[in-house]
Amino acid sequence: MIGTTLNRMIFWELVRVFLLSLGTLTGLFLIVGLIQQASQMGLTLTQVLNAIPLFVPSTLPLTIPATTLFASCVVYGRLSHDNEVVALKAAGVHLYRIISPAVLLGVLTTVTTAALYHTTIPATQQQLYAQILSDPEEVLYNMLRRDRCLRHPNLPYVLYVRDVQGKRLLDVVIKKRLKDKSGADVPLAYGSIARAHEAQLHVDPAAGSMSITSTSNRFVIDDKNANGSPGGVGPFVMALPDSVSGKEARVRITALTWDDLPPRIAELAAERDEVVRRRDARAAEIATTTDPNVRANGLNELQQYKYQLEFKDRMVRNLQAELYARPALAVSCLVFALIGCPVGIWANRADYLSTFVICFLPTLVAYYPLLLAGSDMGKNGRVPLGLGCWAADIIMGTVGLVLTWRLLRR
């Protein structure tokens, strides 16, 4: 009976400290994450406030493991400091009964984190991007207000403005990218430049396009055929950037559910195979030509194919790593519970600051560099991908089991 009452008391104390620290740490991560998102997307204050409920789930996999560790250290450190552990052992209570609430908390937080990664986080991320991008024209204006320019790899133009006043773009400069014979952009080279004192930006969400129209006078055009010649008022029409149209958001790793990952991996692998096919066909053509200019241009094309393959391979490896990383990060909750319990008892401290310095900070400093280094080595192919992603859990989990075993032998 004493074990049942004792376990409930320790468990609810763990839950109390866990929820307190979870709310505090999640709030800090939420502020940092929203500031970063607002900076990247040029969000208004209203958009930021509306995004808060949808942004919270994506911060929890970072805060739940840390707060599980902190709660275990604090609660068991206080039990040891108040000599309650000694008293319980003298009463014949085995230490396993004392640490079992921490193991239960670790299991529950592991299951919760895994469930968040499975569907909840991707679903809320999709809703978040859909909400932010519900008015793509406003997003583009916000970007121009912040950066005074708009550039994206899939845009044929680069847009510069001196200022944005409401819906008015002042002193507009539109530069058309110059492409080589293979269709690739020539770095820092432009085929034509158009200038206007004032213009407006319009978005057609149904067509997935945006246009720039002069509202003051005609554009002044500079290109190889004209130097300061008056042109039309526009419009300059181009497809919406992937980051604004929602295309980029839909294929972001964080927005993919667990069930979406394998089809996306297969899709990217097929795209990579198609690039390989085109590269091999082009290489065969180059091998049969004797024209030095054709061979030179062909070699440049092959170099472009090489960059494309490296990009596709990297994307495939990142998605494959996600299949290992999500469960590994979920299991870190149990790993931290196994570490926090014995370290808290041996530290014999009741205050939060001592617990933070003795156990919480060193554990995080050891775990997350191992996680990042292992994942990076796995993605680069230096170690098996699964081993790299699970390395931090394997190492720190072993440490936690050894510490727990030594504690139970006391």
Domain termination site, one of 271, 295, 317: 317
**6 and 128 assigned to the same domain:** yes
- CA separation for the pair 344, 75 (Å, rounded): 8
Q: What is the pLDDT of residue 179?
A: 64
Same domain? 121 vs 150: no
| Segment holding 48, helix H or strand E | helix 45-81
Choose one of 245, 271, 300: the last residue of a domain.
Answer: 245
Instruction: Report whether 203 contacts 136 (CB < 8 A).
Output: yes
Q: Are residues 124 and 173 in the same domain?
A: no
pLDDT in tens, 26-79: 988 888 777 776 666 666 677 777 778 888 898 999 899 999 999 998 898 888
> Is residue 373 assigned to a domain?
yes
Question: Is residue 151 domain-shared with residue 69, that is, in the same domain?
Answer: no
What is this structure's pTM?
0.76
Contact 78, 9 (CB under 8 A): no
Residues 343, 300 share a domain = no
Tell me the C-alpha distance between 273 and 252, whole Å.
Answer: 21
Query: In the prediction, which pLDDT does 42 show?
Result: 62
In a shared domain, residues 307 and 237: no
Whether 253 is in a domain gets the answer: no
Is 119 contained in some domain?
yes
Predicted local distance difference test score (pLDDT) of residue 139: 80
Confidence (pLDDT) at 302: 81
Nearest Cα residue to 136 out of 196, 198, 49, 206: 206
Low-confidence residues in the chain, pLDDT < 50: 1-2
Say if residue 161 is in the same domain as residue 239. Answer: yes
Range of the domain at 392: 2-133+320-408
Q: What is the pLDDT of residues 175-190, one digit of tens each?
A: 887 765 555 555 556 6
Of residues 146, 197, 123, the one with CA closest to residue 42: 146
* Same structural domain, 32 and 102: yes
At residue 407, what is the residue type?
A: L
Rounded to 5 degrees, what are φ and ψ at 352?
A: -65, -40
The CA dihedral of 331, 337, 340, 344, to the nearest 10 degrees, is 180
Residue 249: per-residue pLDDT: 63
Number of domains in the chain: 3
Flag whether 76 is in a domain. Answer: yes
Token pair belonging to 73 = 């250290």
What are 88's two structure tokens?
Answer: 């319980």
**Residue 255, domain member (yes or no):** no
108 and 158 housed in the same domain: no
Q: Do 153 and 127 reside in the same domain of the chain?
A: no
- Does 254 map to a domain? no
From the list 380, 370, 264, 397, the residue with the least C-alpha distance to 323 is: 264
Residue 256 lies in a domain: no
* 250 inside domain: no
